[in-house]
Amino acid sequence: MALCIGGETANCFVLGYFQGIFDVNDPLWPQSVLTRRVKPLFSFGYMLCAGFVPYFITVLKNQNGNQPHAQQKVPLRQFEEGKSVQAAAGPAPYHSGKTSLLVRQDSEDPLVEEADLGDILSSVVYFMSRNFKAYSALGFIYDPVSQAFALNSFHSKSLSIIKDMQIPLGRGVVGKIGVDKKSFISGDLSNYSAEVLYYSGISPVKSIVASPIISEAKELLGALVIDSQDPHAFKDEHQEIMRRFSHLAAALITNVRMRLYQERAAQHFQIFYEASQQFITALHLDQVFDVLVAMAQQIAVHTRIMALTAGEHNDACTVVKIRGPSPEISEGFCFGPNTGLYSYALQKRKIVNVPDFQQFQGKYYRMAPDETANESIRSLIIIPIMGEENRPLGLFSVESDEPSQFLGEMETVLFTLVSNASVAITRARLYHQMEMLAITDGLTHLLNHKHFQTQLGKEIERSRRYTRPLSLLIMDIDYFKSFNDTYGHPVGDLVLREIAKCIMEAIRVNDIAARYGGEEFAVIIPETNEQRALATAERIRTKIEQRVLESGNNLLHVTISIGCALYPDHAATQQELIENADKALYFSKENGRNLSSLYTKEMAASH
């Protein structure tokens, strides 16, 4: 564009079109605007068209890389550096094409990246087509998982090249050199049973040279092919030159792999660093699992991710976190030992990595024998979360609807991430234990008096805000002092622990139980009227009355008295609510014990 504009400008000066056009002192200048400027203006317009029109035509043509186009000469230095080049021009127009490169860490590893690097072999293929004057020149990349050669780049005078061709190992000319790992040359293909395969319809070629691309580690990377419509078009020296092209192609592929490996390593390092920073600030298990799941989502191609915690004796495992569609498994799902792949990974402390679970559907189950089948699961990896002294803390699993997603390098990356998370999980558990020690009673494991007061204040505020009733039970063990004097304090401690268990068995999940002090207990019952509160009190009283306590050869029975008060019906403040529930408790004791009583105004008058 610049050359065209510059050339036309110079041409205008040579022809004198600009003479006098800027001379404002000329008395005829205003009158000669039209007569003296028409030609220069026309020249300027022509000049701009001459520059811009070819430019935009080139841009539009280059937007479609698969259309036929004339090939430019490419410097040899650019070819040696492996840079992309365009299709070659010759007596007949060439047609070129590219596909995505399959990049793997090694021959046993799964697909780790499918990048937009379709031109990796185009430089080699371009020079092959020019050097040999071939009818078609093609480059293939070998995929060790599918065991097939994928067409990566080509230059051809034919329009019948199958651009997304996959040639299985062992099939046709290309597949055969993959098995033999030796180059192949033929001047008359009719003498061989091997097919060309990459043309649609009948193959138009008679001569062919195919050479495998093999790395220095003797790994099969791909294949290079040239063919001709003429018989005996290639000689032995052409076969040797093709081997040299293959060595160059192997170096290009290896360099791309190394670069991608370094890029992935840098990305993984950044993710590990971010994860470690977030694990440091995660003080609760839920926060740790949130970080773990979020980081795994950045690393792995997944359909569903799950985090599970193990029971105290590894006898059960519970799903605590799920990301992704999960119609058959929900958070809170629990399973026991010897029930499938998940329990196997937990008990054996080993990674379970299944490339394609659908091959084992019906033969192995994941969590339970009666689980609902999930046909979308292909890849599945289950990684134990290990704590101190090689004790499993739980499991972490990633699933994908694509096969072979977590083999090789990906398994190592996920294992490293989970190992970092295990330290944070151990710390979160210790933090939780310290929190529980601060708010619970060490003997009964119910809330202590201080935390009971805090929780009661919160529930009263919630009751006031949403105008919902709130009930409070205060209970006391009948004749506990004489019981202690008769059987001793160890038996008294046993009684306190058993009563705490009875209370927890009788209340709802949202109810809050506490050891109020000594032999006294309290239960906060949110959103409950007096009838339901008394029903809960009776359920606790009956369960304790029926409980048989074994102490040596003695079978002991204890009873409990309960008082109940409601907010805001019986009290306007927290302290008043406690006092009125306590008055109802004393009413139960004064009227025979082993009794549940609801506060009334008469009780206040009697005290």
pLDDT tens digits for range 540-583: 999 999 998 887 777 888 999 999 999 999 999 999 999 999 99
Classify residue 543 by burial, with Cβ atoms within 10 Å: 0-12, 13-18, 19+. Answer: middle
| Three-class secondary structure of residue 226 per DSSP | strand
DSSP 190: G
Q: What angle do CA 567, 572, 576 make, to 5 degrees?
A: 90
Q: How confident is the model at residue 352 (pLDDT cuts 50, 70, 90)?
A: very high
Number of neighbouring beta carbons within 10 Å of residue 191:
7
CB 5 within 8 A of CB 51: yes
Quick one: tokens of 192?
Answer: 């061989």
Q: State the amino acid at position 84 in one-letter form.
A: S
Could you give the residue numbers annotated as active site? 519
Residues above pLDDT 90, as percent of the chain: 44
Collect all residues with Cβ–Cβ distance below 8 Å to 597 and sequence separation of at least 6: 562, 563, 564, 584, 585, 587, 588, 591, 603
At residue 116, the pLDDT reads 40
Interval 293-305: pLDDT, tens? 999 998 888 999 9
| pLDDT of the residue at 22 | 54
pLDDT tens digits, residue range 27-57?
Answer: 555 555 445 555 555 556 665 665 566 566 5
Q: What is the DSSP letter of 403?
A: S
The rounded mean pLDDT for the chain is 82
What is the percentage of the chain residues whose pLDDT exceeds 70?
A: 81
184 three-class SS? strand
Confidence of residue 283 (pLDDT cuts 50, 70, 90): confident
Q: Is the pLDDT of residue 110 over 50?
A: no
The reported pLDDT for the residue numbered 498 is 92
Q: What phi, psi does 136 have (nearest 5°)?
A: -140, 145
What DSSP state is assigned to residue 361?
A: B
Closest to 97 measured CA to CA, from 147, 23, 150, 142: 150
Which band of pLDDT confidence, cut at 50, 70 and 90, is reported for residue 135?
very high
Range 123-138 average pLDDT: 89
What local confidence, expressed as pLDDT, does residue 491 receive?
A: 87
The size of the chain, in residues, is: 607
Q: What is the DSSP string of 430-490?
A: HHHHHHHHHHB-TTT-SB-HHHHHHHHHHHHHHHHHHT--EEEEEEEETTHHHHHHHH-HH
Residue 149 pLDDT: 94
What is the rounded CA–CA span in Å between residue 316 and residue 281?
Answer: 29
The residue behind tokens 């008294």 is: 492
56-60, 241-245, 249-253: least confidently modelled range: 56-60
Helix (H, G, I), strand (E, B) or coil at 589: helix
Return the structure tokens found at 283: 């003080």
571 CB contacts (<8 Å, ≥6 apart)? 565, 577, 579, 580
Long-range Cβ pairs for the range 530-533 (8 Å, 24+): 530/471, 530/564, 530/566, 530/569, 530/598, 532/471, 533/471, 533/473, 533/564, 533/566, 533/598
Cα separation values, 75 from 23, 86, 94, 117, 292, Å:
49, 12, 19, 21, 50
Contacts 24+ apart (CB under 8 A), 485-488: 487/551, 487/554, 487/556
The answer for 592, left when phi > 0, alpha when psi is -120 to 50, beta otherwise, is: left
Average pLDDT over residues 83-87: 33
CA 252 from chain center: how many Å?
31
Distance CA 462, CA 588 (A): 29
Can you tell me the mean pLDDT for 234-253?
Answer: 90
Q: Token pair for residue 89?
A: 């021009």
Match 């090789």 to its residue by tokens.
408
Q: Which pLDDT belongs to residue 31?
A: 52
pLDDT band at 184 (very low <50, low <70, confident <90, very high): very high
Task: Check residue 133 and give its pLDDT.
Answer: 85
